[in-house]
């Protein structure tokens, strides 16, 4: 069963490094393929026209360094991507170039490489561990047997949970819709008496005794379950609609009801 939860805007975590191949130039002027593509899209959406531009972008496989620039052009054929660049989703994208001028009456500065050769998949926003941990994931609940009333000392108490994937919705960088599915993969039980148990199995109810704990002292106790989740995501803008794994995990915590550990004594009468 999938649980659908709507979440707010994410995107504080920066995108990961793109699979790029270095061209010569000013490294400080370069950004990731994703950030460069965002700049390029904004430039095209707000372009005032050639006469009024103070910044220009272009994608070009040709070397645009002018004669006044003392930077060498790549030794490989500039019309072809480097052989070491392998893209999973389509053909490589030519470098993104940028140049600026102080105002519309000034001369243009030299072209600089903003993004090296990159792959189509690099233009999609990454969904990071930080993004995963911002999601509101409903915790898996503690189940125990006996389920109500006291628990007997020196007798096994059964614990289990009911694992379910959660399906969530997120928005990255104010504009990229993302489907996210999280899956429970690890269960850490704290029995409230100093004993813990970590397992990849969720346990099962009676008559199974997969996960049990024996209390040895009379006291009031609570059982806590910490669940570790992995995730995968799919970006709406991805033309291939491919699911991708999130690097990292998230956790949820559920605390069960308090109960009493008691001793059952037999009293003879007659």
- What total of structural domains would you count in the chain? 2
How many of the other CB atoms lie within 10 Å of CB of 258? Answer: 10
Q: Would you call 108 exposed, middle or buried from its count of C-beta atoms within 10 A (0-12, 13-18, 19+)?
A: middle
Last residue of a domain, one of 123, 156, 178: 123
pLDDT band at 211 (very low <50, low <70, confident <90, very high): very high
pLDDT band at 84 (very low <50, low <70, confident <90, very high): confident
The pLDDT value given to residue 75: 47
Say which range, 83-97, 139-153, 180-194, has the weakest mean pLDDT.
83-97
* Mean per-residue pLDDT, 184-194: 98
Burial 182-216 (b: 16+ CB within 10 A, else e): bebebbebbbbeeeeeeeeebbeeeeeeebbbebe
For 92-138, write each residue's pLDDT tens digit.
Answer: 888 899 999 999 999 999 998 899 888 988 899 989 999 999 999 99
The pLDDT value given to residue 29: 62
Q: 169 and 96: one domain?
A: no
For 52-67, write each residue's pLDDT tens digit.
Answer: 999 999 998 877 766 5
Rounded Cα gap, residues 182 and 171, in angstroms: 16
Instruction: Judge whether residue 176 has pLDDT over 50.
Output: yes
Rounded Cα gap, residues 219 and 46, in angstroms: 68
Last residue of a domain, one of 75, 94, 123: 123
* Mean per-residue pLDDT, 218-225: 97
Q: 252 and 189: one domain?
A: yes
Average pLDDT, the chain: 85
Say which range, 19-23, 138-142, 168-172, 192-196, has the weakest mean pLDDT.
19-23
**Residue 152 included in any domain:** yes
Please say whether the beta carbons of 205 and 212 come within 8 A: no
Q: 119 and 135: one domain?
A: no
CA angle centred on 162, ends 157 and 163, rounded to 5°: 130
**Residue 268 included in any domain:** no
Q: 218 and 233: one domain?
A: yes
Last residue of a domain, one of 123, 154, 177: 123
State the residue range of the domain holding 63. Answer: 17-123
Q: 138 and 257: one domain?
A: yes
Instruction: Judge whether residue 174 has pLDDT over 90.
Output: no
Quick one: which of 206, 221, 213 has its CA closest to 156? 213
Quick one: which of 77, 63, 75 has its CA closest to 110? 63
């Amino acid at each position: 069963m999938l649980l659908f939860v709507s979440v707010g805007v994410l995107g504080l975590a920066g995108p990961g490094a793109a699979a790029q191949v270095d061209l010569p130039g000013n490294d400080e002027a370069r950004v990731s393929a994703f950030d460069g593509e965002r700049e390029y899209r904004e430039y095209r959406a707000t372009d005032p026209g050639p006469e009024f531009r103070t910044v220009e972008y272009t994608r070009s496989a040709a070397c645009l360094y002018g004669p006044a620039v003392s930077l060498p052009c790549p030794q490989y054929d500039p019309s072809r991507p480097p052989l070491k660049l392998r893209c999973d989703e389509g053909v490589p994208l030519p470098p993104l170039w940028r140049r600026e001028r102080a105002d519309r009456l000034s001369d243009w500065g030299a072209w600089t490489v903003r993004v090296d050769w990159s792959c189509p998949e690099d233009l999609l926003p990454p969904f990071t561990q930080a993004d995963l941990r911002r999601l509101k994931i409903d915790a898996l609940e503690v189940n125990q047997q006996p389920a109500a009333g006291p628990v007997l000392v020196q007798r096994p108490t059964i614990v289990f949970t009911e694992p379910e994937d959660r399906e969530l919705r997120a928005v990255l960088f104010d504009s990229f819709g993302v489907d996210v599915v999280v899956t429970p993969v690890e269960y850490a039980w704290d029995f409230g008496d100093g004993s813990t148990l970590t397992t990849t199995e969720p346990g099962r109810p009676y008559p199974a005794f997969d996960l049990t704990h024996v209390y040895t002292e009379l006291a009031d106790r609570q059982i806590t379950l910490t669940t570790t989740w992995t995730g995968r995501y799919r970006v709406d803008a991805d033309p291939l609609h491919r699911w991708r794994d999130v690097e990292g995990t998230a956790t949820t915590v559920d605390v069960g009801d308090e109960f009493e550990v008691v001793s059952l004594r037999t009293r003879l009468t007659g």
